[in-house]
Amino acid sequence: MPALSRRLLLLATALAALLPVGAARAEGEQQRLVDRARIVVEEFLADPNFQRMRVYVQNAYAVLIVPDLLKGGFFLGAEYGVGVLLARDIRSGAWSDPVFVDLYGGSIGLQLGGKTSDVILTIMNASALQKLLTSNFKLGTDASVAAGPVGVGLGAATTVQFGEDIYVFSRSKGLYGGLSAEGSAVLLKPDWARAYYGQPVSAKAVLEERSVTNPGSAGLREALARF
């Protein structure tokens, strides 16, 4: 074999060996977020301060889970987080696989302090979910938003009037407070979905058509089903 051909063969072999590693590394980043989101859900489930949150999740069309929302001084003084969005089948109650989003905006403010907060947003109707999947969605502008009820001894409500499109539940280093999310933007991360599912895929295909799946999300979906 000529020297040039041998070099080309070696180069092709090296590139082929690197591609799976790169794909695994990319998927690993998304899987770490999915695993962290599962832990956040389990922590909310175990916290008696969030008993009333159960009925909101049980009736939600979707939930957006943002672990470790960063507050202040990180992104030009604004807040920023990466989260996962899952939709609930209204008939069966089964949860979809996740898509990935960025949540950011200068107006997000944790009312009781703390540098990071785990946040779960419950999307309470189909219209709000469809708007969230558009390219320029803003909380408080495209959908109404309010803090979810928090507190020990309130009990799990059996009948609740969901007057807002989205409710925000936040948990910050053991402190319990609302989240002012007016004007905060939510943007889809299609590159993360492509890495996680191994192919280009739309949010609709994941959340509504459920044409793709990743077994790594099973734990998160099972945790949500416990609400």
CA dihedral 106, 110, 114, 118 (to 10 degrees): -100
**107-161 tens-digit pLDDT:** 444 444 445 788 999 999 999 999 999 877 888 788 888 888 887 655 544 556 7
* pLDDT reading at 194 higher than 70: yes
Residue 204 in this model has a pLDDT that exceeds 80: yes
CB under 8 Å, gap of 24 or more: what pairs does 162-165 form? 162/56, 162/59, 162/124, 162/125, 164/124, 165/123, 165/124, 165/125, 165/127, 165/128
The torsion angles phi and psi of 119, rounded to 5 degrees, stand at: -130, 135
**Tokens for 179?**
């989240």
pLDDT higher than threshold 60 for residue 18:
no
User: Residue 57 is encoded by which pair of tokens?
Assistant: 């999740």
Q: Which candidate, 161, 71, 156, places its Cα nearest to that of 117?
A: 71
> What span, in angstroms and rounded, lies between the C-alpha atoms of 60 and 45?
16
CB-neighbour burial class of residue 170 (10 A; exposed 0-12, middle 13-18, buried 19+): buried
- Return the pLDDT at 114: 45
Report the candidate in 28, 54, 31 with the shortest Cα–Cα distance to residue 41.
54
- Structure-model confidence comparison of residues 42 and 70, the more confident one: 42
Model pTM score:
0.79
- Could you tell me the CA-to-CA distances from 144 to 35, 55, 117, 157, 166 in Å, in that order? 29, 19, 21, 22, 6
Indicate if the pLDDT at residue 47 is higher than 80. yes
Q: Mean pLDDT score of the chain, rounded to an integer?
A: 79
- Token pair in block for residue 24: 């695994």
Question: Mean pLDDT throughout 185-189?
Answer: 91
How many residues in total does the chain contain? Answer: 227
pLDDT, residue 223, reads: 98
Q: Which two tokens stand for residue 97?
A: 């696989």
Task: State the pLDDT confidence band at 46, using cuts at 50, 70 and 90.
Answer: very high
CA dist list (Å): 63 to 87, 125, 200? 7, 11, 23
Report whether pLDDT(3) > 80.
Answer: no
